[in-house]
Chains A and B, each alone.
Chain A
Amino acid sequence: MDTITLTSVSDNFVQAVQEKSRSDLSRCWHCLCCSGGCPFAKDMDFFPNVIIRMVQMGLKEKVLTSSAIWLCVGCNTCSMECPNAVDMAAMMDTLRRMAIEEKVTIAEPAVLSFHQKVIDSISRYGRTHKLEIMMRYKLSEKDFFSDMDLGLRMLSRRKLDLMPSKVKNKQQIQALFKLAEDLS
C-alpha cells in the first residue's frame, strides 16, 4: 500500500464530500472496523478508512484517482461494522461522481465502462439486457475471449436470453433520464 504524502491540498474538499454524501466524516475515529470487514479492502490501493482520512486531509486528486472508490461495490458491509454510523457507501458514491465530473484519470476504467453499459441498456429497454451488456462491454474492452466458455455454458442453460425484457412505454423511460438530471 502507498504511503500518503501531503502535496496539493484542497481546503473545501471534505465539506463538499460531506454535503453531497450527507455523511458526517468527522465521526470516524479510524478504528479500521470498516476496512477489516470490507471484502475488497485488500484489492484496493487505499483501505476505505484511509480514503476517509485522505478526504479529511483534502487530498482530492489522490482520492479521486484511487482504485478504492471503484472497487467499492456499495455492499454496506462496512456500515454494519462501523461503531459511528459513518455512511461509507454514500461517501464512495459521491467520490465516484466527483471523479467523473472532474474528468480525472479513472483508476478502474473497466468498472466504469461496465456501469455505463448497464445504464445504456436501461436507457434502451428500461430494463437490463444481460447478454447485450456483456457483448458491448467486451467490445469496448477489446476483450473477446475471456469467459467465452462461460457465456456458452450460460446460453446452453438458457441463463442468458437472446431477446431483452422491455418496458413498453419508451417515452417514460427517456423522460426519467431528463428527470435524473434535475435530481442529481
Chain B
Amino acid sequence: MTFSHKELNYFPGCSLATTAKENNASLKHFLEQFDIRLTEIPDWNCCGSSSTHSIDSGLALALASRNLFLAPADKPLLIACPGCYLRLGDAKWTLNMNQAKRNKVEKHFGQPFQSDLQLLHFFELLADMSHSGLFKDLPGRLKGLKIASYYGCMLARPPRLNKMPNHYGLIEKTMTALGGDPVQWGFSNTCCGTFLSVSRPLIASNLVNRIMKAAIRSGAECIVTACAMCHLNLEIRCAPENRIPVFHFSEILSLARDGKPSREWLNRHLIDPAPVLKTRWQV
C-alpha cells in the first residue's frame, strides 16, 4: 500500500499552540521524521471550544466555519486535537446538511463552501502510516513500557456522527507495534471533566483521581493520551499520592522513533516523567 498523506494542511488549535506546546512540537517532530509536510492554515482561529458549543451554537458554527473556509481543499486538513476535530467536523456536517445555514455562511465569506474538504484526524493519519508499513523498522523500541491508553471522551460522538470511523484501540495497537505493553483497564473512555476542572474543581479532581488510581492499579507505568485537554486535567487535578506520568501520544511516538526523550518536552510536564523513563532510557 502506498502512503498518500505526504502533504497536509494543519490545524493546531489553541491548546497545542499554548498549554500543550510539547504536544505540538513532538507531533511535528515525529511527522518530519517520515517526511510528512504540514502547512499550518494561515491565521486560524479557535475552533469554538466546548464553551461556545455549550451556550452559543451560532457562534460555534461561525468560528469553526472560518477555519473550514481558510483551509485549501487541495490537501486534507490534519487536526491534532480531538476537541477541535469534533467541532470542525460538526460544522462541516451542519453546512452539508442545512442549506439555509450554508447560504448564510457562504454569503458571509463570499465564496462557496468546499463540501468535500477532507478533515483528517491524527488517528487516521497514524492508521494510514501503520498500514503503509512506515513503522516496520521500529519494533521493540518501547522496551515493554507498561501503558494505560486513555481516550477520554474523544471516541464518543453524537448519534448524527456515529457512523464515522472510530479507531478504537489505535493507541494500544500502535504501542504494541512499537514494543510497548498496553494494560487492560476500565477507565480508558472516561471523560476527564473538561471545563468542570475550572468551575467545579472538586468534581473534576474526584474523577481524575479515580482514573489515575485505576491506572496505577492496572500495573501501568504511565498513561498515554491523544487529547491535550485530558493531558492537562489529569496532570493538574491529580492528588500527589496518585501521580503517574501522563504522556501525549505524540511524545511516546517520538520516543520510539528517536530512542531518546526530549528534555524540552518533559520539562513542561507537571507530573515528572523522568523516573519512569530512566528505567529504560537515558534522560
Contacts and interface: CB of A to CB of B under 8 A. Distances in A.
B270 A122 contact: no
B199 A79 contact: no
B130 interface: no
B114 interface: no
Contacts of A103: none
A1 to B, nearest CB: 16
Interface size on A, as a range, is 35 or more
Interface residues of B, number: 56
Interface string A109-143: 01111111011001000111110001001000000
Contact of A75 (B108, B156, B159, B198): B156
A87 B14 contact: no
Contact of A85 (B18, B49, B159, B270): B159
Interface in B178-211: 189-191, 193-196, 198-201, 203, 207
Nearest to B52: A119
A74 to B, nearest CB: 6
Interface string B1-40: 0000000000000100111000000000000000000000
Given A75-B191, A100-B55, A127-B45, A176 B62 contact: yes
A96 to B, nearest CB: 6
Given A127-B46, A146-B201, A183 B62 contact: yes
A177 B51 CA distance: 14
Contacts of A122: 45-46, 49, 52, 63
Contacts of B50: 73-74
B200 A130 contact: no
A115 B18 CA distance: 19
**5 shortest interchain CB distances as A-B pairs:** A184-B58, A75-B153, A118-B51, A183-B58, A85-B159
Interface of A: 23, 39-40, 43, 71, 73-77, 79-80, 82, 85-87, 89-90, 93, 96-97, 100, 108, 110-116, 118-119, 122, 126-130, 134, 137, 146-147, 150, 153-154, 157-161, 165, 167-169, 172-173, 175-177, 179-184
